[in-house]
Structure 1
Amino acid sequence: MIKVVIADDHPLLREGLRRILEFEPGIQVVTEVGDGQGAINIARSLTFDILLMDLNMPGMNGLEACRVIRRERPEIGIIVLTVDDSDEKVFQVLQTGVAGYLLKDVFPKTLVNSIRKVYSGEPILAPSVTGKLLGQISTPSKNKNSFGLSKREMEILRAVARGSSNKEIGISLYISEKTVKNHLSNIFRKLEVEDRTQAAIKAVKLNLVHLE
């Protein structure tokens, strides 16, 4: 059972999300909160898997709450669900290491699929979000250090930066998802990062990948 917490300051939206998710097999909404501090309090007191987090809330906002929860409960998959798709906000949020970034006009099925993907350990780094991320990154450095990445690892890193899933990477490179995961573990270790979002950010900053 995937246990979900909803953090949003609009009761109507919380109710709508709950109604969507309660009809999905294997998903349970355990509680709802209306601000960032409430999300932190719940993360400190309850065991759950996925946090749907709004950004613009009264008191402590969602961005600050993401930072605290990621530090204290890194095993919780945070999916940001917001109306704010500004380049600056996307960049700030992705730097916290959240598992996904979705807009509130997302189709219900896409939201449900995203929850399942994050629960299975596959963060959602959509190509559109990657594009916004790249637009905020300053001029890449001239660093020639490859960090010991092999040719195959570089191929996978480029695919990650483009927003490809493990399944898509495996299909394109004719390797299994398990092999992709093994390569990603090595990439994270060599780049000294914790997840694919941080790997994509670092790869672009250090000019390890070039995306159009």
Structure 2
Amino acid sequence: MIRVLLADDEPLYRNTIRVLLDSEPDIEVVAEAGNGREAHELASSRSVDVAVLDVRMPGVDGVAATSLITALPRPPKVLILTTFDLDEAVYATLRAGASGFLVKDVAPPRLIDAVRTVASGEALLAPSVIQRLIEEFLRAPSPRPLPGVTPREREVLTLITRGLSNSEIEQCLHLSRHTVKTHIGHLMAKLSARDRAQLVIAGFEAGLNARADPAG
């Protein structure tokens, strides 16, 4: 069962999402909050797998709440809801530890799938978010170094940055599923990444988004 915390300052919208998610046999909304501070308090005291947060809330907003929640000893995954898919806060929430984002008018099946996706540890990054990551990288003075990352791990990180799934990485590099998962585990440890979304950001900051051979 995927246990969900909802945080949105609009009770009507929050209730709609709760009814939608509770209708699924493998998802249960276990807590609701009207702002980021309440969300953090509930995430601290409840067993939660996914926190679905509105990016704009009074007081403690979604960005600050994401930072607080992902800093917990056993943090849930964070899925951000935003009115506009290129909201300036999207990049900030991803840097703060969010696993993905959705626009608030997304189709119901997409929201349900998104909760399952981030609960499983995958990233949920739309093309518009990838574009924002590129823009942020272009503003950076220099690429981020990747200390301790081996050439093969760099290849894997490059493909993750380009949005490839584990199975696609297996085919591209002719590796077994176990080997790919091992490389990803090493990358997460070396780069202090919480999940795949954080690896994508690390890859962009290292300049691995360029379309070239993986080893490039």
Normalised by the length of structure 2, the TM-score is: 0.85
The answer on whether the counterparts of 1:8 and 1:57 sit within 8 Å (CA) in structure 2 is yes
Percent of aligned positions with the same letter in both sequences? 39
Alignment RMSD (CA, Å): 2.4
Q: SS of the counterpart of 1:72? A: coil
Aligned AA (1:141): S
Give the drift of 1:110. Answer: 1.6
Matched, 1:111 2:111: yes
> Which aligned pairs between 1:1-212 and structure 2 lie closer than 5 A?
1-86=1-86, 88-137=88-137, 138-139=139-140, 141=142, 147-211=147-211
Q: Deviations over 1:16-63 (max 9, x none)?
A: 111211211111111211111110111121111111100111121111
Letter in 2 for 1:182: T
Uncovered stretches (5+) of structure 1, i.e. residues with no partner: none
Aligned residues, how many? 211
Q: Displacement, 1:211?
A: 4.7
Partner of 2:122: helix, strand, or coil?
A: coil
Q: Distance in 2 between matches of 1:76 and 1:161?
A: 23
8 Å CA contact retained: 1:140, 1:206: no
Deviations 1:101-135 (A, max 9, x none): 11112221121112112222223233331221111
Q: Distance between the aligned counterparts of 1:119 and 1:126, measured in 2?
A: 17
Q: Distance in 2 between matches of 1:114 and 1:174?
A: 29
1:172, CA displacement in angstroms?
Answer: 4.3
Give 2:106's aligned amino acid.
Answer: V
The whole-number CA distance in structure 2 between the counterparts of 1:53 and 1:151 is 37
The 2-side partners of 1:91 and 1:55 are apart by: 11
Give the conservation status (yes or no) of the 8 Å contact 1:130–1:163: no
Amino acid in structure 1 at the alignment position of 2:31:
T
State the distance in 2 between where 1:2 and 1:203 align. 29
Which one-letter code corresponds to 1:7 in the other structure?
A: A
What CA deviation, in whole Å up to 9, does each residue of 1:121-178 have, x standing for no partner?
Answer: 22323333122111122246267x6645444423321222123333443354454544
CA distance in 2, matches of 1:100, 1:142: 23
Distance 1:192 1:29 in 2: 29
Q: Cα distance, 1:206 vs. partner?
A: 2.8
Quote the Cα distance in structure 2 between the aligned partners of 1:146 and 1:48.
32
Using the size of structure 1 for normalisation, the TM-score is 0.86
SS at match of 2:4: strand
Residues of 2 paired with 1:197 and 1:140: CA distance?
A: 22
Residue pair 2:133, 2:204 contacting (<8 A) in 1 also: no
